[in-house]
Amino acid sequence: MERYCGIVKPLARSKSQMNTSLANGVINQELFHHVPFTRTSEPELAAPPAFPILLDLFRAEVTPHMRRSLSEYLRSDSTFGMTFYKRCQVSEKLIIGSKHSQRRGDINRQSNRVCYQPPGGRGFMFATIVAFIEVLRPQRCLAWVRKYDRIDIDRTKRVASFAREGGLCWIEVTWIRSLFGILRDDVNLIVTDVNLFD
């Protein structure tokens, strides 16, 4: 029994939803044990998945500001068929959440703060994902984000910070490079695995 408790204890990751987190961990572990039984006898050569992959479809209201901003971004006045998603798998190892996928009490493990880099070498930018959408014509995966303003990257001290959250805008999902976290100590410090200083 003690050995099993030692196996199960690390599966509880959320401090505010301990029971749910533990139950999900045990179920996921058991599902992984059953994966070998789902395989066919002859391995099939499957094509690698094409990223990004949008996950967790949901319904949302399209505000006039959102639609007007999307028309300006796509440089088109036509009506758009939009589908909203809560999460997006950007690469094999990186799944990004949105505001709608976050739990209320889980502020330490937010997966909706992203570091992204637009084409053209303008440096790294930071934002909070509000929602992911798939536009049908032309078919594209976009993110509706709230940008962080006045990013200060001090290369001598190797510290990055921001002043405040700014306005909403659209970005391409393919621009996303990594998640980032915030440490609040007189200033809002940015912590990320992307090298911001070289």
Contact assessment for residue 60 and residue 50, using Cβ atoms and an 8 Å cutoff = no
**CATH class given for the domain over 53-192:** mainly beta
pLDDT tens, position by position, 142-163: 999 999 988 888 888 888 888 8
As annotated, the residues of the chain forming the CATH 2.30.30 domain(s) are: 53-192
Element (H, E) at 4: helix 2-8
Average pLDDT, the chain: 84
- Cα(15)–Cα(1) distance, integer angstroms: 23
pTM for the complete prediction? Answer: 0.72
- Cα(83)–Cα(71) distance, integer angstroms: 16
Nearest one of 122, 134, 120 to 172, comparing CA atoms: 134
pLDDT given for residue 46 in this prediction: 65
pLDDT tens, position by position, 176-187: 999 988 888 778
- Cα(169)–Cα(147) distance, integer angstroms: 7
- Cα(128)–Cα(144) distance, integer angstroms: 9
pLDDT tens, position by position, 67-102: 889 888 888 766 567 889 999 999 888 899 999 888
What are the residue ranges of helices labelled H in the chain? 2-8, 18-34, 64-74
